[in-house]
Structure 1
Amino acid sequence: MQLIWLRSDLRQHDNTALAAAAARGPTVAVYLLSPQQWLEHDDAPCKVDFWLRNLRELSASLGTLNIPLLIRTASHWDQAPAELLKLCRQLKIAAVHVNEEYGDHESRRDAAVAETLKAEGITFHSYLDQLLFKPGSVLTKTESYFKVFSQFRKVCYERLHRSMPALVKAPGKQEKLEVSSDPIPDSVKGFATPSQTLRDLWPAGEKEARRRLDTFTDAQIDYYQSERDFPAKPGTSQLSAYLAAGVISPRQCLHAALQSNQGEFESGKVGAVTWINELLWREFYKHILVGYPRVSRHRAFRPETEALAWRDAPDDLAAWQEARTGLPIIDAAMRQLLETGWMHNRLRMIVAMFLTKNLLIDWREGERFFMRHLIDGDLAANNGGWQWSSSTGTDSAPYFRIFNPLSQSEKFDSEGLFIKHWLPELADLNKKQVHNPADLGGLFGAADYPSPIVNLSTSRQRALAAFKNLPSRTSSGGDDE
């Protein structure tokens, strides 16, 4: 008997470990609920709920193949080896199959499980699945991990020209086993159930993920490059939550994008090329987790930035978290996050730069807050984005590049449609006034909207000074976008 241990790969199609297990003989699937670990990793309640809903869909689809899905609890990953060994003994399992996961805790967990099973004569197989390229296979000429995305992408392109990662065939129906699937719990202790409104925005299951991918690559991908930065437009694929939970694979995304672009990934339609570029950013940040494990441990990618004199400003942090900074684009973005479990990518950069540069608050505060609310929360992408924005990370924006939230707002929400949707208290302002109601001095219906908590100009200078005082800083200049 074969066991597939499901983690962030909640799908039947194009699932490497599932296909490999089924090819070797009768297969059972297991998923471990790990609430204590999830709390330590700051996983959001809406994300845990999304996993449970996807498990329910997956259980039904595996059921059509006679593959039972069992649910076990290992509250902390330390308990995973014992829990899996117990199950393997019960079912007389010969081999356990998993798709690789990345991150310090994940690697240690899998090594511990492999060791425990091996001692019992049970083999442990792990497969490349949530990435296009195995970490350690895309390296610089000196055999080290890339630190700069553009150079990483170039090597990925060379590899893709040579061979395209193939889709994995879904397993066929097996003989019925004497094992029944377990019911999937509606909730997990410690994680509140999100509102129905939020759940309705993110229907579970492979069919929905595939529908979104097909809709995007059929109709929207051509406009992706020109519309993806405008939060009021439906310019993005809305697939990030499905990718994070593995309800759809990056291979499926890549193949669909190529199909829409006559097989090209470097030329042809600029929308498709730009979107494939985003898939490679996702890839890059996961390779960074493996190559530079310190980022898994709450450390800055650029070690010299650990010396930054961050402010301890709990009131400012609370205003940012609660969407009352007095800067409409920031507050609208934070309300979008709080109510939907998701934030538009351009806005993620704007609010992150505001927190780390204008408020000079440690990026780790923002990273943690995002993870606690994002339905697509992913350590690699979230950490990578926060460190990029705060100039502590890979490929980081030069420290003197500080997005001005007002000019970003005017540029990417020029009509104020996004702001007015999330801040209805500003609905009566015209498209010029809505970006900075402070200019009105509390008149014209904006009286109940707070004043800005910070002066953008003086706070920018404060950030520049803090970065200039770091050791081994050689560049200087100014760039206020």
Structure 2
Amino acid sequence: MSHPSQLIWFRQDLRIHDHAALWHATQAGPTIALVILSPAQWQQHDDAAIKIEFYLRQLQQLKQQLADLNIPLLIQTIPLWKDIPDFFSHLIQQLNIENVYANIELGINELKRDQTVQQQLNQHKKQLILLHDRTLFPVASIRNQSNSPYRVFGAFKKTCYQRLQHALPQCYPSPSKQQPLLLDLPCFQQNDIQELQRDYIKQIQQTNFSEWHVGEAYALALLDQFIDERLTDYKTARDLPAVSGTSHLSAYLNIGIISVRQCLQALFRQQQGHFEIQSEGQQTWLDELLWREFYQHILFDFPKVSKHQPFQTTTENICWRDDPIALHQWQQGQTGIPIIDAGMRQLLATGWMHNRVRMICAMFLSKNLLIDWRKGEQWFMQNLIDGDLAANNGGWQWCASTGTDAVPYFRVFNPTTQSQKFDPEGEYIRKWVPELAHLDNKMIHEPYAKNQPLALDYPEPMIDLKASRLRAIEAFKSN
């Protein structure tokens, strides 16, 4: 190939619309696309099979979209990230690449990977040009008066609001169709996505995984439907697990089928793109987007959370219980606490769990069972279709009282009370714990509460909630 080309390296951003790196690459000249598949690395990071299969299905969509733009897509399998720099050294020479464009990823391993790629490219007088795309605001740009990163969400949110009042982040234009490129790729093994996808389908535990549709058009329609039909009642409905009150966009945001900028623009569409909050639902969902933003910034500013370390150093010496049997009962939804079991079974069946129930289940494991939150964090990552390091870690550390803005250690959700409040008629429990479906609305939350024995095909509570709460408080006090 006589003329140099730009290379766009797709990672967790499988779309062509509102894509920072893709737009900049195509503005610089003819562009070739690259996706690197790293199964061994995914396994090290506990990525769920359902998430990888979802990613591979979206990759097929991306491949067709790029073909429509005359952008060739090279798909390469490199099991571990440590071997990626050498691949780039070979690639840029074979394909006459001028520069490589990619969107920044914020985990410590991702940053290290990109740094080594950058060093390798620099030896060839090439650049790895990294763009901010996963967040509304570039990491390290939201700072307090001491120019330090925020450790508390409320103050972080206030600064974000001020920035949004100045201007909403705009979406990037869509790339134009380029002239066809003739590439000679004999040196590179073009991987069969479908074959790899079949391998992951065999590993998927969830029975309902096919319900997760892919495609930018589908994700944008889902966004519009949420804004039009559910935003008004979002503040209340989002806490009710039996109601479809949330956006269901987390999986699409996670692998970049949709961008957070697109979400923000849709949120303020009725205000012609101006930052004018006109409803509680609108503000509540904005705050949820900013919680996601906050945890992304925390991941970058405090890399220790990528290393399985608590954010609060004062919690490093908590004496967690080692109880493999109890952990297994929690994982399989066999705790004898109906709302917990409903949530854990929903996760196993669908790869997703309602956010309110995630908090209840996480606090039950880390407080009532006093099992290390990292074991729960890992289990969620191994099963969630929307498993995101920053959000998952942030949520678990919040529940375990080890993280930023963490719930005070003495505040322990009572799962039964939470169940009665947010699933008052037991609809959610009946769906996921069918052996309790015949019980009335009161008994379904704690079927063994009364003295008379019940003949149920359902375990009795594995733990006394009040006693275990006191044990947790004592463990945190004595830390």
Partner of 1:324: 334
Q: What is the distance in 1 between the residues matched to 2:143 and 2:437?
A: 51
Q: Tell me the secondary structure at the aligned position of residue 401 of structure 2.
A: coil
Q: What is the distance in 2 between the residues matched to 1:394 and 1:219?
A: 33
The answer as to 2:260 corresponding to 1:250 is yes
Change (3 A) 1:266 1:309: farther
Q: What amino acid maps onto 2:12 in structure 1?
A: S
Partner of 2:50: 46
Tell whether the 8 Å contact from 2:7 to 2:101 is kept in structure 1 after alignment.
yes
State the TM-score, normalizing by the size of structure 2. 0.95
Tell whether the 8 Å contact from 2:363 to 2:400 is kept in structure 1 after alignment.
yes
Q: What is the distance in 1 between the residues matched to 2:411 and 2:431?
A: 29
The answer as to 2:103 corresponding to 1:107 is no
Deviation at residue 262 of structure 1 after TM alignment: 5.8
Partner of 1:35: 39
Instruction: Output the aligned Cα RMSD.
Output: 1.6
The answer as to 2:218 corresponding to 1:208 is yes
The answer as to 2:474 corresponding to 1:465 is yes
Identity, in percent, stands at 50
Deviation at residue 218 of structure 1 after TM alignment: 1.3
Deviation at residue 269 of structure 1 after TM alignment: 1.1
Q: What is the distance in 2 between the residues matched to 1:278 and 1:35?
A: 31
Q: Tell me the secondary structure at the aligned position of residue 222 of structure 1.
A: coil
Partner of 1:474: none
Deviation at residue 69 of structure 1 after TM alignment: 1.4
Q: Tell me the secondary structure at the aligned position of residue 208 of structure 2.
A: helix
Map 1:17-28 to 2 at 5 A: 17-28=21-32
Partner of 2:178: 174
The answer as to 2:8 corresponding to 1:4 is yes
Mean CA deviation greater in 449-458 or 86-95 = 86-95
Map 1:85-104 to 2 at 5 A: 85-104=89-108
Deviation at residue 68 of structure 1 after TM alignment: 1.4
Tell whether the 8 Å contact from 1:329 to 1:435 is kept in structure 2 after alignment.
yes
State the TM-score, normalizing by the size of structure 1. 0.95
Q: What is the distance in 2 between the residues matched to 1:342 and 1:370?
A: 9
Q: What is the distance in 1 between the residues matched to 2:434 and 2:200?
A: 32
Tell whether the 8 Å contact from 1:323 to 1:330 is kept in structure 2 after alignment.
yes
Map 1:286-297 to 2 at 5 A: 286-297=296-307
Q: What amino acid maps onto 1:185 in structure 2?
A: Q
Mean CA deviation greater in 356-365 or 258-267 = 258-267
Q: What amino acid maps onto 1:63 in structure 2?
A: A
Q: What is the distance in 2 between the residues matched to 1:199 and 1:265?
A: 37
Map 1:220-299 to 2 at 5 A: 220-260=230-270, 263=273, 265=275, 267-299=277-309
Q: What amino acid maps onto 1:173 in structure 2?
A: K
Q: Tell me the secondary structure at the aligned position of residue 403 of structure 1.
A: coil
Deviation at residue 197 of structure 1 after TM alignment: 5.0
Partner of residue 72 from structure 1, selected from 68, 72, 76: 76
Where structure 1 has 5 or more consecutive residues not aligned to the other structure, the ranges are 471-481
Q: Tell me the secondary structure at the aligned position of residue 307 of structure 1.
A: coil
Alignment coverage as a number of residue pairs: 469
Change (3 A) 1:119 1:410: same
Q: Tell me the secondary structure at the aligned position of residue 438 of structure 1.
A: coil
Partner of residue 364 from structure 2, selected from 354, 358, 368: 354
Deviation at residue 195 of structure 1 after TM alignment: 6.9
The answer as to 2:390 corresponding to 1:386 is no
Tell whether the 8 Å contact from 1:266 to 1:273 is kept in structure 2 after alignment.
no
Partner of residue 421 from structure 1, selected from 427, 431, 446: 431
Q: What is the distance in 2 between the residues matched to 1:186 and 1:234?
A: 34
Change (3 A) 1:70 1:400: same
Tell whether the 8 Å contact from 1:132 to 1:283 is kept in structure 2 after alignment.
yes
Q: What amino acid maps onto 1:348 in structure 2?
A: R
Q: What amino acid maps onto 2:163 in structure 1?
A: R
Q: What is the distance in 1 between the residues matched to 2:240 and 2:423?
A: 6
Partner of 1:395: 405
Q: What is the distance in 2 between the residues matched to 1:264 and 1:348?
A: 33
Mean CA deviation greater in 87-96 or 360-369 = 87-96
Q: What is the distance in 1 between the residues matched to 2:363 and 2:163?
A: 34
Map 1:135-150 to 2 at 5 A: 135-150=139-154
Q: What is the distance in 2 between the residues matched to 1:191 and 1:442?
A: 46
Change (3 A) 1:110 1:391: same
Tell whether the 8 Å contact from 1:312 to 1:361 is kept in structure 2 after alignment.
yes
Partner of 2:456: 447
Deviation at residue 265 of structure 1 after TM alignment: 4.8
Deviation at residue 196 of structure 1 after TM alignment: 8.6
